[in-house]
Amino acid sequence: MRKKLIAGNWKMNLTKQEAVTMLKNLLEIPLSEEVEVLIAPSFAVLDTSYEMLKDSGIKLGAQNVSEYDKGAYTGEVSCEMLKSVGVEYIILGHSERRSYFNETNKVVNAKVKKALNNDFKVILCVGETLEDRENGRAFDVVKEQLLESLDGVNMQVVVAYEPIWAIGTGNTCSTEDAEEMCKFIRTLLGDDYRILYGGSVNPSNISELMKMEDIDGALVGGSSLKAVDFSKLVNYEVEK
Ligand code: PGA
């Protein structure tokens, strides 16, 4: 039985004051036993977030981690540091990391291994560009990202399928296309893997997505920054 997961990726948003207000609102959200809920704030507010969420049932995630252990790596944050502020999940391979910060599958692979070896749960993001999809290459690209990012990895990760053209654009992938890719990923990895969809998930499309057999949850950007919307996402109608 794969537990559903709704994960909010705050990206580079919310100052400490804004985060505290958001966290107070999140603490009001009724949580269901059937859904695991996670937020991934910026590094700057992880500690504050942990303190506020620790008794709530909402899990804490980071948006990145260094592939190095410690030392002279200016600007980087290590696994040990994330552990010390209560982080449980790490999002890796997000398309924004891949495209703006040149993270290749090889770098993502090193980070995945480092995080898993340090007992974190990993949400590995994969997804094709619009050009890939239009050229019929979506499945090949996603397969290559998965195989290279998980090369030599024998522990389970959560995979987030995020078509790049659907992220932050309001252009959600159709539920059928999302399901088709999530099913494809499942055939590559195995039945027990949790596979999320991400890309313009909002209160009006969540229940349709969650009805799909191979979609085990959502990775949410924009809608995770509005407490009212995030509350609706977390409490989508669970189909019995
Ligand atoms: P979005 O972002 O929900 O704003 O499209 C999703 C993501 O980048 O994880």
Euclidean distance between CA atoms 156 and 237, whole angstroms: 27
Ligand 1 cavity residues, CB under 6 Å: 9, 162, 167-168, 198-201, 219-223
Mutate to test the pocket of ligand 1, among 5, 97, 159, 200 (most ligand atoms within 8 A of CB): 200
Mutate to test the pocket of ligand 1, among 201, 204, 206, 230 (most ligand atoms within 8 A of CB): 201
Q: How do the pLDDT tens digits run along the chain, 240 residues long?
A: 899 999 999 999 999 999 999 999 999 999 999 999 999 999 999 999 999 999 999 999 999 999 999 999 999 999 999 999 999 999 999 999 999 999 999 999 999 999 999 999 999 999 999 999 999 999 999 999 999 999 999 999 999 999 998 988 878 789 999 999 999 999 999 999 999 999 999 999 999 999 999 999 999 999 999 999 999 999 986 543
Q: Cβ distance 29 to 9 under 8 Å?
A: no
Triad 27, 202, 185: Cα angle to 5°:
105
- Annotated active-site residue in 36, 67, 128, 162: 162
Residue nearest to atom 7 of ligand 1 (CA): 221
> Helices 227-234 and 16-27: crossing angle, nearest 10°?
40
- Annotated active-site residue in 36, 67, 94, 179: 94
Residue nearest to atom 2 of ligand 1 (CA): 221
Distance 140 CA to ligand 1 centre (A): 22
Mutate to test the pocket of ligand 1, among 5, 89, 100, 162 (most ligand atoms within 8 A of CB): 162
Q: Cβ distance 158 to 120 under 8 Å?
A: no
The H-assigned helical ranges of 6-157 are 16-27, 46-53, 79-84, 95-100, 105-117, 130-134, 138-149
Active-site annotation holds for 18: no
Active-site annotation holds for 237: no
Q: For residue 116, how far is the Cα from the chain centroid?
A: 15
pLDDT at 237: 65
- Count other C-beta atoms under 10 Å from residue 150's C-beta: 24
- For residue 219 the two structure tokens come to 């990775």
Which residues touch 159 (CB under 8 Å, ≥6 apart)? 123, 124, 125, 126, 146, 185, 189, 193, 194, 195, 196
